[in-house]
Amino acid sequence: MNDDMWAGVRERVLRLTEHPRAEKVFGARGHGFRLGPVMGEEQLRSLEASVGTALPAQYRNFLLCVGGGGAGPYYGLMTPTLSNGEWQWLGIGLAYPGQPTTAEFAGRPFVAEALQSEIATLEAQEPALEAFASDDEFRHAYTAWDARYEELNDAQEAGAVFLSEQGCGYSSLMVMTGPHRGAIWEDLRPMDGGIVSTGYDFEHWYRSWLERTEQQLDSTAPAPTHQ
């Protein structure tokens, strides 16, 4: 992994706090283009020991070179934090934080992709009232079906970190285990879309946000006046 991959990025992000139209960028009111302190090697090793696996290399270098969290896509990045003896990702400094994730939960097997067909099959088997002889039978069947659906729905979150809140219940996650390790996925469950891949790794996801933001603010800069 190239140690220079994040060179200059922290300075570019912090420079945006000085732009007169910075607050016009979506999500800026959530993070204010502030970045937390970078993390040290000892902290990262402790975090990885709690997760039970190495952090994805791109993200690990980001924590070492750019910051532990703060400014980033949507309402900003959650921060790995040691709280009460337990590592977890928390919304430090964010006005609209995402869902916290414990290191132990992030280190579990990532099964969202594997569960998709099972969830689809279960959805097709949702009990219908007219198929039962009584309301009590229907309620009993539906309660069992709903409990299984919630179990599978929640199980999709394991093995990933809720990295950024998008708003309206949507989130960006980073996969921590398995073949998709280091990839960014999106939680689209509020619109019954499941947890799905964006096709991007962490570096592309973050750099694309930064470049779009810089371009947006450059395009809104006032035109120069001529005397």
Place of tokens 């947890």: 195
Handedness of CA 43, 47, 48, 49 (dihedral sign): positive
Rounded to two decimals, the pTM is 0.88
Q: Determine contact, residues 158/105, Cβ cutoff 8 Å.
A: yes
Please report whether residue 106 resides in a domain.
yes
Please choose, from the candidates 225, 58, 90, the residue with its C-alpha nearest in 3D space to the C-alpha of residue 165: 90
Residue 140: per-residue pLDDT: 95
Q: Determine contact, residues 113/147, Cβ cutoff 8 Å.
A: no
| Other CB atoms within 10 A of residue 2 CB | 9
Please report whether residue 72 resides in a domain.
yes
* Structural domain total, the chain: 1
CA distance 37 to 46: 17
160-167 and 170-175 as β-strands: parallel, antiparallel, unpaired? antiparallel
Neighbouring residues of 184: CB distance < 8 A, sequence distance ≥ 6: 163, 172, 173, 174, 175, 197, 198, 200, 201, 202, 205
Q: Give the SS3 label for residue 54.
A: coil
CA distance 52 to 177: 10
Please report whether residue 64 resides in a domain.
yes
CA distance 36 to 49: 22
Please report whether residue 44 resides in a domain.
yes
Please report whether residue 67 resides in a domain.
yes
Q: Angle formed by the axes of helices 41-51 and 57-65, to 10°?
A: 140
CA distance 194 to 134: 33
CATH number at residue 17: 3.40.1580
Instruction: Please name the residue ranges forming H helices in 66-170.
Output: 103-106, 112-124, 135-155
- Kindly give the parts of the chain with pLDDT less than 50: 1, 223-227
Residue 125: per-residue pLDDT: 94
Residue 226: per-residue pLDDT: 44
Q: Determine contact, residues 163/77, Cβ cutoff 8 Å.
A: yes
Whole domain around residue 87: which residue ranges? 9-111+156-219
Residue 194: per-residue pLDDT: 85
Please report whether residue 134 resides in a domain.
no
Please report whether residue 148 resides in a domain.
no
Radius of gyration of the chain (CA): 21
Q: Give the SS3 label for residue 125.
A: coil
Please report whether residue 137 resides in a domain.
no
